[in-house]
Each structure stands twice: as structure tokens, then as C-alpha cells.
Structure 1
Amino acid sequence: MTIRRAPRGAVVFDCDNTLVATLGAWERAYTALFAGCGRVFDPAVHLGGLVGMPLEPLGRALATLLDRPGEHTALSARMVALLTANETRPMPYAVELIAALHGTRPLAVVSNTPRVIVRHYLTAVGLAQAFDAVLGCDDVAAPKPAPDVYRAACAILGVDPADAVAVEDCPSGLAAATRAGLFVVRVGATAVPADLAVANLGDPTLWRALGVPTAQS
């Protein structure tokens, strides 16, 4: 079997739970928003239809769900406030890996979260200045698992997708990167095929694949 080698053109990272620890943040924010409107948020009923929405459509969807016509702008603003109010932490080894990669090749972040929130997360953990491009779901026609955001990032960076590496943790992002034609690194335990699978961002196998000195001695 031929093992595909990681290209050296660019590295494109997912944000939520790849670079920044945000597990449960959206569910908690929706729960608080619904409670403030006298409603109960049910992830099984509501969450799937809201994922990957830019802020304006998200506000309109929430206004419909909460029977708050005309309040879409206030509702989307409240979501931003809820999502950015809590302490934000980098994922293990994220800061170290980005520091090692910075300046060696183009770097980007792509997310199914609106860009204003992604930028807040990256700024909060001290990583915002390391990236040549940051794209959210509001920058493309279709969110992950569509390949749009990865293709857009590669276009901005001036690299062919075949010369770029994607680093992802969730099935929709892994599917998006694969469809876009990048070399795909899967981080964590998600059982989705990828070109390279690692336990976390500190895995020496990942650092060697990216051509930087390993994080761990």
C-alpha cells in the first residue's frame, strides 16, 4: 500500500476543538438563550439545523424558533455575547505547534462557526496573528461538509489543495477537507478515514509529517 506523504505547501486548521477548546460551548449558549426566552433548548431537535449558519440567517432561524419576529439581530448578537463570554483555552499543544509552524509556510483556519467568533477564540488564546487567513461559515456558500471553505482558504493562500494539509477533529470537517483534495490529518478518536491519524496536536508523528521539530523529546 502506498502511503501518501504530507505536502509542504500550507496547513489549514479547523478551530473548534482542534485549536481551541469549545466543546459544549454552542449547546450551553443556545440553552441560555432559549431559557432567557422562556423556552427549553433540545439539542436533538434544534442543534443540527443551526450548525454552520452565518450570523444573520442564524438570527432569523432563532427568531422563528423562539417566536420573536423582528428580533433576529438582537438574537444573533446575544449568541455572540454568550459564546465569547466564557474563558477560552487552547487545545493541548496547539500553541506549541502553531509557534513551530509560523513562518515556515502559509497557515489558515477554517470553521463552521461565524468568522467574528473564530477570531475572538484565536485572539483569546494568543494565536490570531499566526494565520494568513481565517474563514468562517459566513465566508462561503455552503458550510462543512461541503468543501467550499477549504477551497476558499487554499485560493487565498495561493496554494493548490493537493499541496495543503488539513487538520481536523470532526466528521463534517474531515469530509470537507477530503472533498477539497487536501492531505487530511484526523486528530482524536473520531472513526473517519484520513491520510494520517494522531491522538492530539502534540503527537510526534504529526510534527514529523509537518516537517517541524517534535514537541516532545
Structure 2
Amino acid sequence: MTELAYEAAVFDCDGLLLDTARAWARGFDAAAARAGLRLGVREQAELVGSSVASGAGLIAGWAGAPERREELADAVREELSAAIRACPPPVLPGVPALLRRLRGALPMGVASNAPADVLAVMLAGSGLLENFETVVSADRVVRPKPAPDVYLAACRELDARPENVVALEDSAAGALAAQAAGLAVVVVTASGWPALAPLPWPARNRPVLYVTAMGDPAVGQFVRSDVPPARSRPVPAPPPNGRGR
């Protein structure tokens, strides 16, 4: 039997497994409205990958009312939860096939900036929950992404050393978190952020793969290969008007 390159794989959720961009936008818009603001494209882009708490902190800062951070976090959480329940987010293309390929080959987990209750509803409702041995949310750790806490917690619960774990991410905050934790990383995004804000690779000699879709055969090959690639794959040019979360 071929020995796999990694002991475990840890997935982000929002924008990688499930298309939750609209639900998060609704949550942040609700908080901004409560603070008397209207978010523009620049603000929404800055909020991508934020947790409830960190996103509310940004909005409170823009409103010049840092003391309202907790109130605005409640607004984000309430609207996000309502949006998820009203319109369950769809599973993104390529996800089911990749999970089928990896299931049974190595343990898998989720490390997400989403609240625990929302994360549980999304994963259970989508039918994806059964694929994962552990699920770590931002409210279970001290610091959300881009800090490494959720990834380090997931590795502990999977009984795997971070240097022998691969993360799958779509956002800059998430990729930075995985990198800081010492994981190898697959960045799956059609957005242009990797070219606009390149990550400081390689870090701790951990390999990285950039692809524009989870269905790219390179993803499964990277995760299941018996020898990790020595160099990263070039960052793809963003498609016209491409957007990602």
C-alpha cells in the first residue's frame, strides 16, 4: 500500500465547500445598517474571510463606534443564521467527488471562521458532515483566522502533526492561518487575490498549490500523492470579473 504524503486534510468551509457568500454579505450588511453605514465593494472585499467578531470589529471601526462591536457581532450572527436557514447554501462544484476520493484514505476535518451553530447547520444540511472527523469553529478558539488557532486545534483533534497536514482554502485570511500553523496548502480560488496580495511562500518549506476550481485533478493528486511537490504551482491569472470568497 502506498504511503500518503499527509496524515490528514483540513478544509475551510465558506467559499470552499459551500457557496455562502450571499449569506455572509447579508450578515455584514445588517450590522452596517445598524451602525448607520452602507458597505461598498471595497468594504465587502475587506470583510471576505472574516469571522463574526472580526467582521463586526471592522464595521464598528468604520462607524467610529468601537464600543458597539458586540452589538454589531450579534447583528451579523442573527442575520447570517437566518440567511442560512432560509436558503441553505449549495455545495460547490468538485467538492463531492474530492471528498469521495479522500474518504477512507486519510482523516479529514473542517477549520472555519463561521460560528459553531451555523457551521453545524450548514454541514449537516448539505450532507457533508459525515465526511469529517472533527469540525473546529472560530468561537472554539481564542483567535480566528488569519491566526493559526483553528488549524492547530483541528490538527490536535485529528492527532496529526501540522507539518504532515494539508489545508484547503479559498481566502487570503484562511491561507495565512494555515501557513502560520505550518500546514501545506491548496488554494482554490477564481479570485485575483493571490496575484494582488501574494503569500510569502514557501513558509517552513511547506508546499502550496494554486488552482481555480476544486474539481481540478491536481487537487486530489496533491493531497494523495506519496511525495509532496517540491515547488508551488504558479498563481493563475484571474478570469475576467472573477470573484471569490
Unaligned runs of 5+ in 2: 200-206, 226-245
Q: Which residue pairs with 2:39 in the alignment?
A: 42
- CA separation of 1:97 and 1:45: change in aligned 2, threshold 3 A: closer
- CA separation of 1:163 and 1:88: change in aligned 2, threshold 3 A: same
How high is the TM-score relative to the length of structure 1? Answer: 0.77
1:30 deviation in Å? 3.4
Q: Which residue pairs with 1:215 in the alignment?
A: none
Equivalent in 202, 210, 215 of residue 202 of structure 1:
215
Q: Which residue pairs with 2:147 in the alignment?
A: 146
Contact 2:50–2:145 (CA<8 Å) still a contact in 1?
Answer: no
Contact 1:90–1:125 (CA<8 Å) still a contact in 2?
Answer: yes
Identity across the alignment (%): 33
Q: Does 1:21 align with 2:19?
A: yes
1:40 deviation in Å? 4.6
1:10 partner amino acid: A
Contact 2:52–2:73 (CA<8 Å) still a contact in 1?
Answer: no
Q: Does 1:110 align with 2:123?
A: no
Contact 1:54–1:114 (CA<8 Å) still a contact in 2?
Answer: no
After superposition, the C-alpha distances for 1:98-137 in whole angstroms (9 at most, x for unaligned) are 1221121110111111121122221222101110111111
Give the Cα–Cα distance (whole angstroms) in 2 for the partners of residues 30 and 126 of structure 1: 26
Give the Cα–Cα distance (whole angstroms) in 2 for the partners of residues 126 and 32 of structure 1: 28
Give the Cα–Cα distance (whole angstroms) in 1 for the partners of residues 52 and 28 of structure 2: 14
Give the Cα–Cα distance (whole angstroms) in 2 for the partners of residues 126 and 14 of structure 1: 16
Unaligned runs of 5+ in 1: 1-5, 213-217
Q: Please, what is the CA RMSD of the aligned residues?
A: 3.4
Which runs of structure 2 are paired with 1:126-205 in the superposition (5 Å)? 126-189=127-190, 190-191=193-194, 192-193=198-199, 195-205=208-218
How many residue pairs match? The answer is: 202
Give the Cα–Cα distance (whole angstroms) in 1 for the partners of residues 138 and 14 of structure 2: 13
Contact 1:53–1:138 (CA<8 Å) still a contact in 2?
Answer: no
Bigger mean CA deviation after superposition, 121-130 or 149-158: 121-130
Specify the SS of the correspondent of 1:90: coil
2:103 partner amino acid: H
Q: Which residue pairs with 2:50 in the alignment?
A: 51
Give the Cα–Cα distance (whole angstroms) in 2 for the partners of residues 70 and 142 of structure 1: 19
2:127 partner amino acid: G
Which runs of structure 2 are paired with 1:84-95 in the superposition (5 Å)? 84-95=85-96
Give the Cα–Cα distance (whole angstroms) in 2 for the partners of residues 41 and 83 of structure 1: 22
Q: Which residue pairs with 1:3 in the alignment?
A: none
Specify the SS of the correspondent of 2:153: helix
Give the Cα–Cα distance (whole angstroms) in 2 for the partners of residues 127 and 18 of structure 1: 12
How high is the TM-score relative to the length of structure 2? Answer: 0.69
Give the Cα–Cα distance (whole angstroms) in 2 for the partners of residues 105 and 204 of structure 1: 18
Contact 1:7–1:165 (CA<8 Å) still a contact in 2?
Answer: no
Contact 2:145–2:173 (CA<8 Å) still a contact in 1?
Answer: yes
- CA separation of 1:75 and 1:205: change in aligned 2, threshold 3 A: closer
